[in-house]
Chain A
Amino acid sequence: MSPWTAALYLENGQLFVGKGFGAKTARGGEAVFNTGMTGYQEIYTDPSYYQQVVVLTGSEVGNTGVNADDIESTSAFLSGVVVREYNDIPSNWRSTGTLSSYLDRLGVPGVFDIDTREVTRVLRDDGAQRSIVFPVSSTDRESILKEAKDLIATVVSMEGLDLVSRVSCQKPHLYGDTSASAPRFVVYDYGVKTNILRSLRTRGFGVQVVPYNFPYQEVMKINPQAVLLSNGPGDPSVVPDAVGMIQGLLGKKPIFAICMGHQLLARALGCTTYKLKFGHHGINHPVKDCIQNKILITSQNHGFAVKEDDLASREVKVSHKSLNDGCVEGYSSEKLQLLSVQFHPEARPGPSDAANIFDHFVKGFIR
């Protein structure tokens, strides 16, 4: 790989020039940072990063290459990646190729040799914002800036943007080798991560994946044991149809919700969601399980959150809270048979501390 000159440009006018890897193309999206020190392949294939430019704070990236197993979807949905140091010669017993050629195949541009700590600071202080990763042909800073400004004008803002409908599957389908008679979960796919499906499958469930707007009446016909509302990208307030479908299932089927699903479920309950300044993206987030009085180190990836005030009146109680900023990380209701978490109990990447939430749900509402 011989790197070309590439750059990251932020909406606030800051330009960072580095070297390119992955696809030699210009793409833009909302810049967010992720503080995980492992799991770049999982992050890059997580549909929740749709239309985002992901800045990894961990400074050495590409070290373990890529492999066929550590993927959370069959594609890369994000728009660009930014790292401090990219390593094109990987070393790992499972590695089958380099990260650069993998991103190239998926059409994702990357830029490295960037002061990612400074970029992170900007995003922390000024908030997540539009950005563009692009190859640079000029050596003159002024003309690079001009090109950047032209490019960023084409990037749309995340707020008010429906992305779920664009990453969700088009048709219902079965995940894995589900036999017809197996007890079944219906999974609403808002951009589901593979490990959520795998986590259900390994617990003995058949998994029926359905599009985000799949009619609830059809779900009732399938008559699953429970419904899972998956993770997904973007602003929960603008996902069309989803809230109505969830409302149709409320109280009728046990519901397990994760991340975007958690936010949509809250909205279905009549609560509001709001945008966080720079979100939670990492694998070291402490969450307090207020019911068992235990702390979980969790994997998180969300730019929006559920407002706590409204929850109490909806017969649900807050079950999990972020120890970093106090935001709602989970709620549940015996009566409505629902359990909802903002973080990722399926991990990948990140710790498996919360994996038994799947079991709690199953034990509490299904068996």
Chain B
Amino acid sequence: MPKRTDIHRVLVIGSGPIIIGQACEFDYSGAQACKALKEEGYFVILVNSNPATIMTDPDMADRTYVEPLTPDFLEDIIAKERPDACLPTIGGQTALNLALALCERGVLEKYGVELIGAGRKAIESAENREQFKGVLDRVGVEYPASGYAKTLEQGRTVIDQIGFPCIIRPSYTLGGTGASVAFNAEEFPAELQRGIDASPMGEVLVEESVLGWKEFELEVIRDKADNVVIVCSIENLDPMGVHTGDSITVAPAQTLTDVEYQQMRDAAIRIIREVGVDTGGSNIQFAVDPKTGRQVAIEMNPRVSRSSALASKATGFPIAKIATKLAVGYTLDELPNDITKKTPSCFEPSIDYVVTKIPRFAFEKFPNSDPKLGPQMKSVGEAMAMGRTFKESFQKALRSLETGLWGLNPITERRKLRSGQNWIDGIRSYVKTPSSDRILWVAQGMREGISLEELHMLTKIDPWFLQQISEIVAMESDIAKFTGDVATIPREALLSWKRAGFSDRGIAHHLKSSEDQVRGKREQLEVLPNYKIVDTCAGEFESRTPYCYSSYESTSDQLPKGKGRKIVILGGGPNRIGQGIEFDYCCVQASFALREEGCESIMVNCNPETVSTDYDVSDKLYFEPLFLEDIVAILDREKPDGVIVHFGGQTPLNLSRHLHAMGYPILGTSSESIQIAEDRDKFRALCHRLNVRQPESLTVSQRERAVEAAEQLGFPLLVRPSYVLGGRGMEIIYNSRDFHQWLTKGIEISEDCPLLIDRFLKNAVEVDVDAICDGEEVIICGILEQIQEAGVHSGDSACTLPPITLSEEVQAELTRTTKSLALELGVVGLINIQYAIEDGLVHILEVNPRASRTVPFSSKARGVSYAKVAAKVMLGRKLKDLKVVEPRIPYVYVKESVFPFKKFPGSDIILGPEMRSTGEVMGGGSTFAEAFAKAQIANGFTLPMGGTAFLSVKDDDKENLVGIASHLEMLGFNLIGTRGTASFLSSRGIQIKTVNKVNEGRPHVVDHIKNGEVHLVINTSALGVHEVGAAYELRRNTLMRNICYFTTIAAAKAAALAIAEVGKVRPKTHCLQERV
């Protein structure tokens, strides 16, 4: 059955901004889907609000709408583009929900749009818990027993059937909040009552607990001829109770016999058939009782997912691509296996290695939030590694995380314990609670002699995994025996350590030696890695897939030979806050540029979610840690003509200094230039020479001098300890009392760790300028005006292109300064400069001679792929030859940042110098107000067109609030405010009612919010200061109730404009291709 010819135009829905639980894996799947559809000749209409994606590159679809993912906007686009079909299964939960909403509104029916991939019935029967249970009943697959209860008596009836422990889930609460576990009859009544109270319906689900059971996932694909294959089995090292996105996971499953695996496989096939996912991929999760082998189904996602991206990377089977082709009518046997070329896609990959994925967290960004892992996902990224054994892949994955680990680093910091706690008990308590570094505590427990049985009791981690880890730990003492005696290490011993995945740095640690010495010994003994190919078939068929991983084996597989200049691109590693999809976008663009220039592109990365680790993006892909040792091994093997380090964010840039020193050819801006930009003194000298203004600043290396320096500069100040990366630990300090207090917080100030103090430009507008320099000429990619005031991390601020408040003169000066800095620094490639403009005076804050987070946004807004241009410049091309057009932009574009606050109970939503956003959306319009409104809508806010606005701002902001308040008044809002704000505004003639703060008696503002009486919140406080009291409670409640809020005056002002604009006309949609 070939592809369908009755459909021509296909609407693809993307997943929107990067948020926790929905990240760039959907750019990977979406990009594959678009490519697959175009390859088949369909006209592709794409909607995605996220400009940092590859899928929204204008080349990927015929019509690309970077528009809000809401039913209104989708309806508009459908009416305009009249697609025949809509593919909702590659854009995560967002796309599925949107598709359902469009069904319910009758939009799809009205315009005759068919859902392909998964229909409404299939989506509902997988997504709706009750319907899914019906499915499981019909196909005879077990699930955890449960029953609803509204009273204690009903609860006891359920318990009689299911026993303890049980999980009590309040009905209809957001994101599983309020769930608890009752272990015995004694605590049951209290837990049940708490659950009933937490539910708006006064109802709970009492469910059999499968906590501590083994957790598995199967990736399943089905075609319309009812052929079903399992692409991959995944086993979670962390047992049930930790969200699979937060678990360490391993493929293939390691602790199932064939009988048990086949039972699970059969169940998965029966489920997907009954649910009726006609064409495409699904993910089905199972729990297995380790004592009896009883299997229960937990849930199903009738779409591609994070796990399917992982499974695709783990096996080489491109699930999203195949799922898309099945959706347009092909059957599995009609599609060739890309990798073997000769065999069909209708098979189940066999892998002859082990894949380990470890999540990466960002708890340090959310002080006061609970770092315990549970059923709600909290990780922001992940690293994957391949090795021939679990030990090898596990240790490679640990060093891929870029959290400073070289393997199973020992934990020695006893200060992490509670006072009075003894060391072993401390380890026991850390081991017991799932957390981001539990696995390190488990290994530490082994080193301290806690038995594997006890560790299993405490963690419920399968004994097989504990045994593997203990074998690694045992090897540490073998290594340590050679301390001081590196020369005598026999080859066989060194090889066995490398085969177990130890890094040179790890071996050096246990030998109390240096990484260089270990590498030297290794090279002398010729213990070198080999490279094996990921081929989907465990070597059964010949393949020359350009997709490989390292292992200490006897030989390498034969890798394909490329042609042209050989260029290695170092990717960005696991996503984290501050280094995410934007950099992967740049790396992929660089790879495209290399192809256009006839070079051989070689990508190195370890992030399974990304487009860059799709094996057909580059000519060759090394799925390897971005760890010096692993990179050097690749470079030694490939002997490239150049290495690109400027596109993957801080990770490859940090490596570049070493690589440069070791003599590898770094392309583009030199290591020296990067150092000038990073070194405060050298940079200050450069600014001085070019006559560029910087905020006054002082560097202090003695504590006693700090106060003196502060007084000299005058408050407010921006302080940063020098070890700071990405805004970590930066703070704005408003007065001398706060400064003294800050100094007592254990900040180290010394010659090695000087303290940097800048005068903080309080009322300045911050601006980001991206440019490309070829050494002779400079082009400006974009002047982006930040909407939030100075002091908010540029990655967290909304911004607009073109700028709206900057005068022609200021813009000309920014252009001039950027050009002279780029030329003076000798930049070849991209450069990003951050400026602050105070009273018309341009100050320079920071220079980054590399790709920045804003490059994709500028590229989408202006219709030029700047990263691609920059990559060509780095290859030696000249800007004048590349003929980059300076496009006139007919629209205003606003980028808005997206935050994960909801996932971190306890965290404050106030912005500051520390970046905390995970993603971004873009809104475009013919006015700033329209663009800003669309960005807010894309970010999930409903801009209120009236109702009650609550205002409470810090003293500094009161004067500026007057205009906003009167604007809102004119728009018909009722205003309420806290005492100080209200009396200030009243004195300026604005009608406003005073309400109580939380600590001023009831009813107070949170009561009003809870009653749904507040529709807009404007609340500012000192930047970056995280509160715990009344203000915190106000903001937290605002957040959890999805009320539109603004925490800076600048954003509030823009919001008032946006509300006025949207009130007048409904925003229009337009596609990127229309402009050309």
Q: Are B347 and A297 in contact (CB under 8 A)?
A: yes
Q: Is A314 located at the chain interface by the 8 A CB criterion? A: no
Most buried by A among B342, B352, B468: B352
Kindly provide the distance from the CB of B536 to the nearest chain A CB, expressed in whole angstroms.
Answer: 9
Contact with B along A54-65 (1 / 0, CB 8 A): 000111100110
For the complex formed, measure the closest distance between the CB of B39 and the CB atoms of chain A, giving whole angstroms. Answer: 22
A125 to B349, CA, bound (A): 20
A-B contact number at CB 8 A: 163
Contact indicator per residue, chain B 321-337, by CB within 8 Å of chain A (1) or not (0): 00000000001110000
Q: What string of 1s and 0s marks CB contacts (under 8 Å) between A123-163 and chain B? A: 01100000000000000000000000000000000000000
- Check B352 against A58 for contact (C-beta < 8 Å): yes
Q: Which of A57, A124, A352 contacts B352 (CB 8 A)?
A: A57
Q: In the complex, which residues of chain A have a beta carbon less than 8 angstroms from the beta carbon of B343?
A: 286, 323-324
Contact of B252 among A37, A67, A350 (CB under 8 A): A37
| Chain B at the A interface: SS class | loop
Note all chain B residues with C-beta closer than 8 A to A293: 225
A63-B254, A120-B540, A293-B225 are known contacts. Are A87 and B555 too (CB-CB below 8 A)?
A: no
| CB–CB B538/A35 < 8 A | yes
Residues of A within 8 A of B333 (CB): 286, 288, 295, 323
The yes or no answer to A235 lying at the interface (CB within 8 A) is no
Q: A57-B538, A58-B352, A93-B292 known; A295 and B262 CB under 8 Å?
A: no
A248 lies within 8 A of chain B by Cβ? no
Which residues from 267 to 284 on chain B have a C-beta closer than 8 Å to any C-beta of chain A?
none
Within 8 A of B (CB), among A186-232: none
Beta-carbon contacts of B225-266 to A below 8 Å, as 1s and 0s?
111010001000000000000000000111111110110011
- Determine the chain B residues whose CB is within 8 A of the CB of A49 once the complex forms: none
Q: Are B347 and A324 in contact (CB under 8 A)?
A: yes
Chain A residues whose CB sits within 8 angstroms of the CB of B69 once the complex forms: none
Query: Is B290 a contact of A349 with CB atoms below 8 Å?
Result: no
Q: Knowing A64-B255, A92-B257, A117-B388 touch, does A57 contact B354 (C-beta < 8 A)?
A: no
Any A CB within 8 A of the CB of B390 = yes
One digit per residue, 1 when the CB lies within 8 angstroms of any chain B CB and 0 when it does not, for chain A 305-341 equals 0000000000000000001100000000000000000
- Say yes or no for B745: interface residue by CB 8 A criterion: no
0/1 string, A272-295, CB within 8 A of B gives 1 = 000000000011111010000111
On chain B, which size bracket covers the interface? 35 or more
Q: Which of A87, A350, A351 has the most CB of B within 10 A?
A: A351
> Is the Cβ of B292 less than 8 Å from the Cβ of A284?
no
Contacting chain A: which of B459-467, B876-884, B1048-1056?
B459-467
CB distance A57 to B539 under 8 Å? yes
- In whole angstroms, how far apart are the Cα atoms of A324 and B346 in the complex? 9
Please, which residues of chain A bring their CB within 8 A of the CB of B464? 63, 87, 89-91
Closest to B470 in A: A89
Q: Is there contact, CB below 8 Å, between A59 and B257?
A: no
- Flag whether B563 is at the interface (Cβ < 8 A): no
A252 contact set on B, CB distance < 8 A:
none
A117/B225 contact (C-beta < 8 A), A64-B255, A286-B347 known:
no
A124 touching B388 by the CB < 8 A rule?
no
- When A37-B350, A115-B555 are in contact, do A350 and B293 touch as well, CB less than 8 Å? no
CB distance A294 to B352 under 8 Å?
A: no
Say whether, besides A59-B354, A117-B539, A117-B557, A38 and B347 are in contact (CB < 8 Å).
no
Known: A57-B539, A87-B464. A69 touches B259 (CB 8 A): yes
Set of chain A residues within 8 Å of B259, measured between Cβ atoms: 69-70, 348
Contact with B257, one of A16, A67, A85, A113 (Cβ below 8 angstroms): A67
Q: Chain B residues in contact with chain A, CB under 8 A?
A: 225-227, 229, 233, 252-259, 261-262, 265-266, 289-293, 331-333, 342-344, 346-354, 388-390, 462-464, 467-468, 499, 532, 537-542, 553-555, 557
Q: List 22 A-B contacts (CB under 8 A).
A: A57-B538, A58-B351, A59-B352, A60-B254, A60-B354, A60-B389, A63-B255, A84-B389, A85-B390, A89-B467, A91-B255, A91-B464, A91-B467, A93-B290, A93-B292, A117-B388, A120-B538, A120-B540, A284-B349, A286-B346, A293-B225, A324-B347
Using a CB–CB cutoff of 8 Å, the interface residues on chain A facing chain B are 16, 33, 35-39, 41-42, 57-60, 63-64, 67, 69-70, 84-85, 87, 89-94, 113, 115-118, 120-121, 124-125, 282-286, 288, 293-295, 297, 323-324, 347-352
Known: A70-B258, A84-B388, A91-B463. 8 other contacts (CB 8 A): A58-B351, A115-B553, A120-B540, A121-B539, A286-B346, A323-B343, A351-B348, A352-B266
